[in-house]
Homo-oligomer: A and B are copies of this chain.
Amino acid sequence: MDFKVNSKEFEKLLSKIYPAIPTKTPMPLLEYFYFELSEGKLTVYGTDLEISLKASISVPSEGNFKGLIQAKRLYELVRSFKDTTIYFQIEYDHTLYLSTDKGKYKLVYLDTDDYPEIPSFPNVNTEEEINEVIINGEELKYSFDKALFAISKEDIRPAMMGMLFEFVPEGLRFVTTDGHRLVNILNKNVNHNIEEKYVVPERAISVLSKLLDEKDVKIYFDKNHVSFKLSDIELISRLIGYKYPDYENVIPLENEYYLKVNREELTDAIKRMLLFSVTGTRKIKFSLMKESFEISAEDVDTGATANETLPCEFNGEPMDIGLNAAFLLEVLTHLSPEEEVMFKINSPTKAIIIVPVKGKENYDLLMLVMPVRLNT
């Protein structure tokens, strides 16, 4: 059975699926693309059992084919071709020939019988309730870019290894936290009638983030899976089944003091403080006054110290606060390109809220860091 494809169109198809292929896996079948040719449509799947990706192109062929093909070898081969035609010739003895103007390449394909089942959405055969919502791709990407970094890498609390999607009357809220910092972003542009919370794994968010463009995304949730349908690709992910921690209790309501400061100046200063902080704790000190504040760090091992003074607006009484410079730096970086940020402060032992002074229309964005104890 034969068909042909343009090399660049085919490369584009494979490049979309390739991120789902695991590099190291105890299940070698996952290192293969799943190919399905039917009714003139070539569909390619890949999965690492957590997420799966699926995309199709039209090919002028009457034939039917299902088979597994080594992903890395095929993808690298196709990438190496300039714009040309690739002729596929599939034999019944599990061999597959690719021919181009350059040469001829023989690959072996495997049967699909042992490949894991790929969920499909919306599944008409199920009684399960499916929630569905449409979000603009760029808006989704904006939220992901702000919140992704704070997802926990540690599996002691599995729910925190994902991003919370919380449907609230005002829109859709995304929350991430690793216990040291938290990001909470509410997108008020999302219309829905859902009353649910879902936790989507980090890998789904980071892979999806690279695929999103300005087009709309249809999102389907059932009890255990989420499907993101983009114009040209579908990503299906397991949902994390654990209950997301009660983040609202962590966000203080009574932080009455505020510190307004230029984000870029503060970022630069903190980068220098990081050089003088102790490797383990990364502790630095904010000494707050009305119109300026001092940041300082001390490497107790070598006796090296650093001090800088920055202009600010602060409405509280002078106080000293200890902070982890590395965590704070990540928060400030992800508040880019905001010019001014506001720290909302209660006391040196309570969580500190950081928000953009201006912010983006129709979004509520809030980041939070926990202070560290000063030795004084």
Residues in A lying within 8 Å of B, measured CB to CB: 70, 73, 76-77, 80, 95, 102-108, 268-269, 271-272, 275-276, 302-309
Contacts and interface: CB of A to CB of B under 8 A. Distances in A.
Nearest to A103: B308
Contacts of A107: 304
Nearest to A99: B307
A269 to B, nearest CB: 7
B73 A106 contact: no
B276 A73 contact: yes
Given A104-B307, A269-B103, A76 B275 contact: yes
A103 B271 contact: no
B105 A70 contact: no
> 4 closest A-B pairs (Cβ-Cβ)?
A103-B308, A106-B305, A105-B306, A108-B303
A67 to B, nearest CB: 14
Nearest to A81: B272
A29 B108 CA distance: 57
22 contacts: A70-B302, A70-B304, A73-B304, A77-B272, A77-B275, A80-B271, A80-B275, A95-B303, A102-B268, A102-B269, A103-B269, A103-B272, A103-B307, A103-B308, A103-B309, A105-B304, A105-B307, A106-B303, A106-B304, A106-B306, A107-B304, A108-B303
- Give the residue among A76, A102, A104, A309 with the most B Cβ atoms within 10 A: A102
A92 to B, nearest CB: 15
A31 to B, nearest CB: 12
Given A73-B276, A102-B308, A103-B307, 6 more contacts: A70-B304, A77-B275, A80-B268, A102-B272, A105-B307, A108-B302
Contacts of A103: 269, 272, 306-309
A358 to B, nearest CB: 25
A108 B272 contact: no
Nearest to A302: B108
B308 A108 contact: no
A105 B304 CA distance: 7
Contact of A272 (B80, B268, B271, B304): B80
A168 B319 CA distance: 74
Contacts of A305: 105-106
Nearest to A104: B307
A90 to B, nearest CB: 15
Nearest to A72: B275
A308 B305 CA distance: 64
B308 A275 contact: no
